[in-house]
Amino acid sequence: MLLIFPVIVYYALFHYLPMYGVTIAFKEYRILDGIMGSPWIGFENFRKLFAGNFFPRAIRNTVILSAMGLAVFPVPIIFALLINEVRHLRYKKFVQSVSYLPSFMSWAVLGAMFINLLSSSRGVLAFTGLDFLSDPETFRFTLVLTGLWMYVGWDSIIYLAAITGVDPGLYESAKLDGANRLQMMWYITIPSVMPVISIIFILNIGRILNSNRDQILVMQNPITYATSDTLDVYAYKVALRDTFNYSFGAAVDLFKNVIGCILLVIVNTVARKTGDGENALF
């Protein structure tokens, strides 16, 4: 209990206590008046959000990019399975280290690197004739694939940890029965880590209205605004760049979180009822 007490204090001070600040979504927040002194305006910020011309485009772009991200959800799982099959220890560690490295770099650095690499005018890949950064539709794929490159190694860690927990006796029994490595992967490894896969998928569904704001802001340009301006980008531009309307930005974030929480509960309920309960988050 003593060891866990600092963790409880941390979450209470920096995660739960600040949740009171969400009330500014229902106020006309003024910095000098503070949260308590700002006037209450009810759902006015939400009415402005839903009535705004930008909202349909932002919600559409957010859902499309999130759906594309879910489409590549199996990639870290496949990567973890392949890494687990590598028997040369030094090569295995080298590949893992290289795959983790991009996750420790900021999008300010990686974005500049990708712009220099993919620019149709001066990029290294300009000879391909493909317009990765200036074509609105292609830009979505560029965001998804560059994000996948950055996080695939990091996301595979939890699956590798789950794989190491599989009972070695299952593999030994399968070998005696004549199973090859591919069959052991398909019939033993994947079913054993399926609860972890299911839980991560449920959590990703809960974040379906979230997007990588830093990545988009660094890599987008006026030509691609139509397909890359998401709710996160919209909230940033309104609250911190253009009008400094913190209340409106808080309303956007609150809307995203409420929808995400509802989706998480629905998907978790379906997972719990369709399985034996191990594939559900709660």
Question: Cα-Cα-Cα-Cα dihedral of 172, 173, 178, 182, to 10°?
Answer: -60
Give burial (CB, 10 Å; 0-12/13-18/19+) of 51. exposed
- DSSP 8-state class, residue 215: H
pLDDT of residue 134: 87
261, pLDDT greater than 80 = yes
**Mean pLDDT calculated for residue range 105-123:** 86
**CA pair distance 114, 192, nearest whole angstrom:** 37
pLDDT of residue 13: 94
- Identify the CA nearest to 103 among candidates 71, 159, 161, 146: 146
Contact 150, 102 (CB under 8 A): yes
Looking at the DSSP bridge assignments, the partners of residue 27 are 40
- DSSP labels for 190-207? HHHHHHHHHHHHHHHHHT
- Identify the CA nearest to 153 among candidates 235, 87, 226, 94: 94
Q: Given CA atoms 221, 222, 224, 226 in this order, what sign does their dihedral have?
A: positive
In order of their start, the domains of the chain are 48-274 (1.10.3720.10)
Measured in whole angstroms, the distance separating CA 207 from the mean position of its chain's CA atoms is: 7
**CA pair distance 217, 15, nearest whole angstrom:** 26
- Identify the CA nearest to 263 among candidates 77, 72, 53, 62: 62
Task: Please report, for residues 98, 177, 248, the alpha-carbon distance to residue 220 in angstroms, rounded to integers and kept in the order given.
Answer: 27, 54, 23
243, pLDDT greater than 80 = no
Looking at the DSSP bridge assignments, the partners of residue 40 are 27
pLDDT band at 281 (very low <50, low <70, confident <90, very high): confident
238, pLDDT greater than 70 = yes
Q: What is the pLDDT of residues 138-149, one digit of tens each?
A: 999 999 999 999
**Mean pLDDT calculated for residue range 5-10:** 95
pLDDT of residue 46: 95
pLDDT of residue 278: 78
Task: Please report, for residues 162, 178, 187, 205, 248, the alpha-carbon distance to residue 259 in angstroms, rounded to integers and kept in the order given.
Answer: 30, 49, 36, 10, 17
- Mean pLDDT for the chain overall: 91
**Mean pLDDT calculated for residue range 81-97:** 92
**Mean pLDDT calculated for residue range 249-256:** 93
Amino acid at 34: G
**Mean pLDDT calculated for residue range 258-276:** 90
**Mean pLDDT calculated for residue range 23-49:** 92
pLDDT band at 239 (very low <50, low <70, confident <90, very high): confident
What stretch of H or E contains 145? helix 136-164
pLDDT of residue 123: 67
Rg, Å, the chain Cα set: 23
**Mean pLDDT calculated for residue range 200-229:** 93
75, pLDDT greater than 70 = yes
Q: Given CA atoms 18, 19, 20, 25 in this order, what sign does their dihedral have?
A: positive
216, pLDDT greater than 90 = yes
275, pLDDT greater than 80 = no
158, pLDDT greater than 80 = yes
Q: What angle do CA 263, 230, 143 make, to 5 degrees?
A: 100
241, pLDDT greater than 80 = no
pTM of the model: 0.88
